[in-house]
Structure 1
Amino acid sequence: MQAIGLCRFSYPALGGFQVGHETTEERIAYLYDEARLEERFRLLETVALPCLEAQTDPDFGIVFVIGDQFPQQHEKRLESLLADLPQAVIHREPPRRHREVMKEVLNDARIHPNEPCLQFRYDDDDAVSVDFIARLRRAVENSAGLLKGERSVAFDWPKGYVAEFDASGIRAAEVFRPLNVAALAMYVKGGSPLTIMNFAHEKLPRFMPTVSLPDAAMFVRSHNGSNDSRQGVAQQVKVAPLDAEGAALFRDRFAIDEDHVRQVFSA
């Protein structure tokens, strides 16, 4: 069964952001600001990509959506970072309505539209466990009876971490967050045009059966200066430096190496 991921990498969509802008030009200026992009690239390199490269089940694809005005030097940097992830492709798109673009991208990525598929969203500053794809497939297999007759079923792993990354290393706190973007996926039956982008992630249970699997830490949600989640609850989590055990867990479970974090953020 095909598994498809979708990552919006500083794509200047119309809508889709908690942080508002009056015009598309303002949004592009905000997203392509050099300091902001530097932070996003550092998080992509140290947090988001290593766990994808280390998946125990490498049978998945992921589309990185960028704007058609994305600066050329940064596009080359993105291509360089994705060179070690053959499952990744870059899709360029002019500014359009957020959900419409993402739904089109996901449906175009389906190799066999008449067969069922698995879909997941992926933020460029988050991580999932190195066995996320394997656990997703196993959960779907174990839910065969539930899937019969359903257009879609969501699968959610609510245990994970909130973390901050900088030149000093990693500070983190364990959290329980149902329907977080990371470690959330959706089964779509064959022939259905539905995508995970048809729905707000926190509202999925309103529209389909949702399986919650609180059996292991499955995500790392990054809090930083430029992500969309820096509002509200982002300021309520108290993080602390990782001890040796925590650093080992981040390395083994999410392929996030604290020495690598320090090196990249010190550059």
Structure 2
Amino acid sequence: MTAVDHLVLTRFNLPTPGPESLVRAQEGWLQNRVALFERHTVPTMRAQSQTAFTWIIYFDPQSPDWLLERMRPLVDEGLFVPIYRERVDWTDVVADARATFGDTHGDLLLTTNLDNDDAVSIDFIERLQQAARRHPDHAIYLRTGLILQGDALYLRDDPENAFCSVSERWDAPITAWRDWHNLLHDHLPVASLPGAPAWLQVIHGQNVSNRVRGVRTDAAQHRDAFPGQLDGIADAQAGRLWLDRSVMHPLRELRDSGRSIGKRMILRVGGKQSLDRVKQVVRRLG
């Protein structure tokens, strides 16, 4: 079997320019972020069916002492490896991957982006490693996921979502942080794979770009794959499911289509920096 070295990558509180800087400046941002991390990300990563992976989390070197103390039990448990940096780009990730796996590395390097307020299914790592063997030298997306807002759960098909991975050979890796998650197709062929929901995004007041997408679904059929994440969500009534699928979902699709066209035009004309500036203005106005 092809040997896969799997590195999961998370930015926790790295200093970030652009629209995210406005969110990070809000009072209580870090406390709320820690609460989301402990509620959603930690338990689902701890519950993985495949445990042969290394999880690196990047922290600001100026992080407060209380945050480091809060993270210490998780580090002592061996759940993740903390690295303290003021900035991280894809070349830094390559260096960290080589330092992590050393000269005795396997056949493929698999890197996966994971935000620190999201959850993943119990077979997320296992499915990615299987896909990495089938699709070397590809950007990989498990395209089906869930979005939770309050007590409403939505099934989402997102071909190039933020839970992006890159499977590649070790000779000249670029990693999943080579570009924005929806621009990796500029660097690699893409394998966007269907299947059961592999990830869960929670819509909360500090989301920068996430919003309700997809079609309303019943939580009962997804609880086993996301242990502890959907226990308090009541089963959706048939009438609500019908209303969402018949009326609300088409309206959201129309809204998102307009947004996508606008983003593509801004990217084509002004590039990523222009899109960041637009997002920052929108965030201020909001």
2:82 corresponds in structure 1 to 90
TM-score by length of 1: 0.74
2:53 corresponds in structure 1 to 60
1:7 to 5, 10, 13: 10
- Compare CA radii of gyration and give the structure with the larger one: 2
SS of 1:196's equivalent in the other structure is coil
Q: CA deviation at 1:98?
A: 4.7
Structure 2: tracts of 5 or more residues without a match: 234-286
2:155 corresponds in structure 1 to 174
SS of 1:40's equivalent in the other structure is helix
Aligned residue-pair number: 229
Verify the 8 A CA contact 1:46 1:260 in the aligned structure 2. Answer: no
Q: CA deviation at 1:34?
A: 5.2
Note the alpha carbon deviations across 1:106-161, whole angstroms, 9 max, x for none. 444343468421110110011121111211222233x2xx53xxxx2122111111
TM-score by length of 2: 0.70
Verify the 8 A CA contact 2:91 2:174 in the aligned structure 1. Answer: no
Distance in 1 between residues matched to 2:91 and 2:160, nearest whole Å: 21
1:246 aligns with 2:249: no
Whichever residue aligns with residue 180 of structure 1, its letter is N
Distance in 2 between residues matched to 1:238 and 1:134, nearest whole Å: 25
- Identity between Structure 1 and Structure 2 (%): 23
Whichever residue aligns with residue 185 of structure 1, its letter is S
Q: CA deviation at 1:92?
A: 0.8
Distance in 2 between residues matched to 1:6 and 1:33, nearest whole Å: 24
Note the alpha carbon deviations across 1:201-260, whole angstroms, 9 max, x for none. 111223212112112111111221113224xxx1x54887x8xx615623x112234458
1:123 aligns with 2:123: no
Verify the 8 A CA contact 1:163 1:239 in the aligned structure 2. Answer: no
Distance in 2 between residues matched to 1:44 and 1:254, nearest whole Å: 15
Verify the 8 A CA contact 2:10 2:56 in the aligned structure 1. Answer: yes
Distance 1:20 1:257, change over 3 A: closer
Note the alpha carbon deviations across 1:51-85, whole angstroms, 9 max, x for none. 1101111000111100010001111112234554x
1:210 to 174, 190, 198: 190
Verify the 8 A CA contact 2:155 2:214 in the aligned structure 1. Answer: no
Q: CA deviation at 1:87?
A: 3.8
Whichever residue aligns with residue 51 of structure 1, its letter is T
Write 1 or 2 for the structure with the bigger share of helix.
Answer: 2
2:68 corresponds in structure 1 to 75
Note the alpha carbon deviations across 1:20-40, whole angstroms, 9 max, x for none. 56xxxxxxxx63755212221
2:167 corresponds in structure 1 to 187
Structure 1: tracts of 5 or more residues without a match: 22-29, 262-267
Distance in 2 between residues matched to 1:218 and 1:259, nearest whole Å: 17
1:134 aligns with 2:126: yes
Distance 1:179 1:71, change over 3 A: same
Distance in 2 between residues matched to 1:196 and 1:72, nearest whole Å: 30
1:164 to 149, 152, 158: 149
Distance in 2 between residues matched to 1:199 and 1:214, nearest whole Å: 23
2:33 corresponds in structure 1 to 40
Whichever residue aligns with residue 182 of structure 2, its letter is E
Query: After the TM superposition, which parts of structure 1 deviate over 6 Å for at least 4 consecutive aligned residues?
Result: none
SS of 2:63's equivalent in the other structure is coil
